[in-house]
């Protein structure tokens, strides 16, 4: 029999373990720290972050998901909030900061309830009920729109960009976003729409100003023609798309070629030349007068292509090749000998144009107009990168607006409506879940509160004013961060797709509930082996093993 008080070692030496309330408060503190990191970026009066990585590369952004992806986060609970931002970005394209702040606030409110000895699973159950009710409220306050409502869609794009540094040019950029998305939207059998963002190609070129950004009806390939003797523009282009090299390959095996007299050398070179000539002849016979090649084109082949007045571009990116195939109706051929006129794509005009320092190839007037390009310009590299992020957000929100056909108002108005609805709902639930639902209602108010804080307003005054307006039935009342007053967000044109709100609530609730249910954190020491194994390979432990994860 073991003497009383003998300690049994189950976990490996060096493994750290936190249990009960200590583990919970540690996890909640980590999640709150992540939410606080992006909190100051919310809204039109939000500030930007400058992120510098170990190589000294700089990213200046206001985009929640970009900030969280760039920060090296160590704590496992904090990583879950980064996942919230990533999910929000993939699903809705905007509202990443909102989702993360909401998740942090839900956990903060839950901490207060845990201290009052309310069990975490009760809080989790209340939060789930509240999230379902919140989605119902959003459906009620939503307004229907269609692809024809270009004006509303433009407002949606402008709202997504108002907090970004590109907001000075939001008129132009939102116009471009709406035109681009409306063009590539495909109608389904049940009259709903589907938008594939990949059909919109975004090309960045430093130089000029943001105002020089333009929408190009076609595809831009960031390459120049391979030979100056080729025509700089081709009308009625018949386009060959080849994923093969116009070069004489070296033998696969290390073969030794022995040449003993000069005539053999001449014959060898002659054969190489005639092989290249045959390749170019194949292209010419197919009727192609423009050639996009994914691999290299030999100097001699370039000469023959120029002689036949074929516009050729080499080493084109695979993604660009796929877009060209889609836009021109051509087929990508992997074996040059197989190229026939049936594989060719068509465009009205292919031309070369100098943008900034570089020559670029423009393919316009395509067979299938459902592929477009946006050429982004800006004063510095960081500006161009941030405009790209803003445009991606804008095109995403317009796309989900068209797909779902419903929009809600922003500026914290929908959040206040949810809070009001949840407080009424909580009274009907009763029991301990009621307290959790009320906590959820308080947490949702973090959105208008943060908008007010970032604008330098008194958050308490704003919240009291908002509650009063919503009680009166003004469901579109939100924070006007420019005037510092509460005003009608519909009239102020602050509109976002319903998916942004719905997804933010879903992913924030899921993350909060998951963190709440953890009462034990067991962290293997850095570089430890797999559980039960020997020392193991550094940082290669199996599940629950040494992932080198420390906090």
Three-state DSSP state, 51:
strand
- Contacting residues for 508 by C-beta, under 8 A, at least 6 apart: 84, 99, 100, 102, 103, 106
Q: Is 97 among the residues known to form the active site?
A: yes
Residue spans in the chain of domains classed CATH 3.50.7.10: 230-368
Residue pLDDT, tens place only, 113-146: 999 989 999 999 999 999 999 999 999 999 898 8
**Domain topology for 146-217+372-404:** GROEL; domain 2 (3.30.260)
Phi, psi (rounded to 5 degrees) for 438: -65, -35
Calpha distance 83→125 (Å, rounded): 22
pLDDT band at 533; cut points 50, 70, 90: very low
Calpha distance 188→183 (Å, rounded): 14
Catalytic, out of 48, 61, 63, 343 = 63
**Domain topology for 16-143+409-523:** GROEL; domain 1 (1.10.560)
Task: Give the mean pLDDT of the chain.
Answer: 84
Beta bridge partners of 187: 193
Please answer whether residues 415 and 403 qualify as being in contact, where contact means their C-beta atoms are separated by less than 8 angstroms: no
Cα 386 to chain centroid distance, Å, stands at 13
Catalytic, out of 89, 298, 385, 393 = 393
Helix (H), strand (E) at residue 78:
helix 76-91
Q: Is 96 among the residues known to form the active site?
A: yes
Catalytic, out of 61, 66, 87, 96 = 96
Residue spans in the chain of domains classed CATH 1.10.560.10: 16-143+409-523
Rg (CA), the chain: 30
pLDDT band at 382; cut points 50, 70, 90: confident
- Cβ neighbours, 10 Å, residue 418: 27
Calculate the alpha carbon distances from 394 to 170, 221, 496 in Å.
10, 23, 10
What are the helix and strand counts (H, E) for the chain?
16, 21
Residue pLDDT, tens place only, 153-174: 998 988 888 888 777 788 888 9
The end-to-end CA distance of the chain, in Å, is 39
pTM of the predicted model as reported, rounded to 2 decimal places:
0.81
Catalytic, out of 41, 97, 159, 328 = 97
Q: Is 61 among the residues known to form the active site?
A: no
Which tokens hold the place of 187?
């109608």
Instruction: Report DSSP letters for 301-336, one per residue.
Output: HHHHHHHTT-EEE-S--HHHHHHHHHHH---EESSG
**Domain topology for 230-368:** GroEL (3.50.7)
């Amino acid at each position: 029999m073991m003497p009383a008080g003998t300690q049994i070692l189950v976990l490996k030496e060096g493994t750290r373990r936190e249990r009960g309330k200590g583990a919970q408060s540690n996890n909640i503190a980590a999640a709150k720290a992540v939410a606080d990191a992006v909190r100051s970026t919310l809204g039109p009066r939000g500030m930007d972050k400058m992120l510098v990585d170990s190589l000294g590369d700089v990213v200046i952004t206001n985009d929640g998901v970009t900030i969280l992806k760039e920060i090296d986060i160590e704590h496992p609970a904090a990583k879950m909030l980064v996942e919230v931002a990533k999910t929000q970005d993939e699903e809705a394209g905007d509202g990443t900061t909102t989702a993360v702040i909401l998740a942090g606030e839900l956990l903060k409110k839950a901490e207060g309830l845990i201290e009052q000895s309310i069990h975490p699973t009760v809080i989790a159950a209340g939060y789930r009920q509240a999230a379902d009710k919140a989605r119902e409220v959003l459906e009620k306050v939503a307004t229907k729109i269609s692809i024809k409502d270009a004006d509303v869609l433009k407002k949606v794009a402008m709202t997504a960009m108002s907090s970004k540094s590109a907001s000075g040019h939001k008129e132009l950029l939102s116009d471009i976003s709406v035109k681009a998305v409306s063009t590539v939207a495909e109608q389904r059998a049940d009259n709903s729409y589907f938008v594939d963002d990949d059909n919109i190609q975004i090309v960045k070129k430093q130089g000029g100003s943001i105002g020089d950004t333009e929408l190009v009806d076609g595809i831009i390939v960031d390459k120049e023609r391979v030979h100056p003797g080729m025509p700089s523009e081709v009308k009625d282009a018949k386009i060959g798309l080849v994923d093969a090299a116009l070069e004489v390959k070296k033998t696969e095996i290390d073969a030794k070629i022995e040449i003993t007299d000069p005539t053999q050398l001449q014959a060898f070179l002659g054969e190489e030349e005639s092989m290249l000539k045959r390749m170019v002849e194949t292209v010419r016979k197919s009727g192609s007068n423009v050639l996009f090649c994914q691999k290299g084109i030999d100097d001699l082949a370039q000469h023959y292509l120029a002689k036949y007045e074929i516009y050729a571009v080499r080493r084109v990116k695979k993604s660009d090749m796929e877009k060209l195939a889609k836009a021109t109706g051509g087929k990508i051929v992997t074996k040059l000998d197989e190229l026939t006129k049936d594989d060719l794509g068509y465009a009205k005009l292919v031309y070369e144009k100098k943008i900034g320092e570089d020559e670029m190839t423009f393919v316009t007037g395509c067979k299938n107009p459902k592929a477009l390009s946006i050429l982004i310009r800006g004063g510095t590299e960081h500006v161009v990168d941030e405009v790209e992020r803003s445009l991606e957000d804008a095109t995403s929100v317009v796309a989900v607006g068209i797909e779902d056909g419903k929009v809600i108002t922003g500026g914290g108005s929908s959040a206040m409506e949810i809070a009001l609805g949840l407080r009424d709902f909580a009274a009907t639930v009763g029991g301990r879940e009621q307290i959790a639902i009320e906590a959820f209602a308080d947490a949702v108010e973090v959105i208008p509160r943060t908008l007010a804080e970032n604008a330098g307003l008194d958050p308490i005054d704003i919240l009291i004013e908002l509650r009063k307006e919503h009680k009166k039935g003004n469901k579109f009342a939100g924070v006007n961060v420019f005037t510092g007053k509460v005003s009608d967000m519909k009239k102020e044109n602050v509109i976002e797709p319903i998916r942004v709100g719905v997804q933010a609530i879903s992913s924030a609730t899921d993350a909060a509930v998951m963190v709440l249910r953890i009462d034990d954190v067991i962290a293997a020491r850095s570089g430890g082996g797999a559980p039960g194994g020997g020392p193991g390979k550094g940082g290669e432990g199996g599940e629950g093993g040494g992932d080198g994860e420390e906090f």
